[in-house]
A = this chain, B = another copy of it.
Amino acid sequence: LISKLAYSGVAESEVSEILSLGHCRSVRALQEISSPGAEIVPYTVLIEGIACRYTIVGDGRRALIGFILPGDFTTAALTGLTPLDFGILSLTTGKIIEMPCAELETRASNNLHLSQALAWSAMVEGSIARAWLANSHRPADKRLAHLLCELRQRFALVGMGGEHSFDLPLTQQNLGDALGLSTVHVNRMFQYLKGLGLVQVHGHKIVIGNLSRLEHFAEFDPAYLHLNPHKTAQIGSRDRHRQHVEPLQVRAMLSAPSRRVPSRP
């Protein structure tokens, strides 16, 4: 299963090499991957499933402060800032690869592409956090719509879904914890969005009739995900062909930043 990799560009051979540094393990749903306050956090890539960053708020409510999708680092280049100020939890069953900090860091210092990838990953993560902050200032309906747009885009980036649909194995409670809404209200907002004809929900499959209409409604501007143009273009075509893409699209993580050079002209 791990061997079914699809890469693009120069990163192809590097990725498998780098991933072989760590060891892969399965996680069940609701398993703590890293705990808040941890002093040593290995570089961890999520290969399959969905995880989240969270902090506990108030009485014991779990506030999700970010989703981790296949191909994402659980902590980006955040390591170095310990103790960890949040926890990492799997939301579904999945697979992760853990790499010791020291090994990846020595390798990064010799490998420009890798260090760029790590930096880029951290920056996109920060950018997403800012977008979520802005989103928290929106009313519930747009908030949910915006999150759906983001997840669709990020899933599409790693080949898991296209423009019109994607699979979202999260409960409405998970979404509520991420949006700062009650489960009940998330449900009502789903009804509302369905009523507007913006989304359809079939089990865990989210279907979007008219993407640009949904994105306009949500005030979603994909710029904050900092996909580069040719990358974005690929997403569309990938969708049209409906090709099977296996899990483990570390490609997106390691190839997207390859266009960016360390210093500007």
A residues touching B (Cβ–Cβ < 8 Å)? 37, 40, 53, 55, 57-58, 61, 63, 65-66, 77-78, 80-81, 83, 85-86, 101-102, 105-106, 109, 119-120, 122-127, 129-134, 136-139, 142, 180, 219, 223-224, 226, 260, 262-264
Given contacts A263-B106, A264-B101, contact A80 B123 (CB under 8 A): yes
CB distance from A262 to the nearest CB of B (A): 7
30 A-B pairs within 8 Å (CB atoms) are namely A53-B130, A55-B130, A57-B137, A58-B138, A58-B142, A63-B133, A66-B130, A66-B133, A77-B123, A78-B123, A81-B120, A81-B127, A81-B226, A85-B127, A85-B130, A85-B224, A101-B264, A102-B263, A105-B262, A105-B263, A105-B264, A109-B262, A122-B122, A122-B123, A129-B130, A132-B133, A133-B136, A136-B136, A136-B180, A137-B180
Task: Please report the C-alpha to C-alpha distance between residue A61 and residue B81 in the assembled complex, in whole angstroms.
Answer: 33
Evaluate contact between B122 and A129: CB separation under 8 angstroms.
Answer: no
CB distance from A219 to the nearest CB of B (A): 7
Task: Please report the C-alpha to C-alpha distance between residue A134 and residue B83 in the assembled complex, in whole angstroms.
Answer: 17
Task: Please report the C-alpha to C-alpha distance between residue A180 and residue B152 in the assembled complex, in whole angstroms.
Answer: 26
Given A78-B123, A122-B126, A132-B133, 13 other A-B contacts at CB below 8 A?
A37-B223, A57-B137, A58-B139, A63-B137, A65-B130, A81-B123, A81-B124, A86-B130, A105-B263, A126-B126, A129-B133, A136-B180, A137-B180
Evaluate contact between B129 and A85: CB separation under 8 angstroms.
Answer: no
Given contacts A263-B102, A264-B40, contact A126 B57 (CB under 8 A): no
Chain B residues with Cβ under 8 A from A66's Cβ? 130, 133
Residue of B nearest to A103 (CB): B263
Task: Please report the C-alpha to C-alpha distance between residue A133 and residue B129 in the assembled complex, in whole angstroms.
Answer: 8
Chain B residues with Cβ under 8 A from A78's Cβ? 123, 126
Task: Please report the C-alpha to C-alpha distance between residue A262 and residue B205 in the assembled complex, in whole angstroms.
Answer: 43
Task: Please report the C-alpha to C-alpha distance between residue A81 and residue B125 in the assembled complex, in whole angstroms.
Answer: 11
CB distance from A124 to the nearest CB of B (A): 7
Chain B residues with Cβ under 8 A from A106's Cβ? 263
Task: Please report the C-alpha to C-alpha distance between residue A126 and residue B123 in the assembled complex, in whole angstroms.
Answer: 9
Residue of B nearest to A139 (CB): B58
Chain B residues with Cβ under 8 A from A57's Cβ? 134, 137-138, 219
Task: Please report the C-alpha to C-alpha distance between residue A224 and residue B87 in the assembled complex, in whole angstroms.
Answer: 13
CB distance from A105 to the nearest CB of B (A): 5
Evaluate contact between B260 and A80: CB separation under 8 angstroms.
Answer: yes
Q: Which 4 interchain pairs have the tightest Cβ spacing?
A: A63-B137, A136-B136, A129-B129, A85-B224
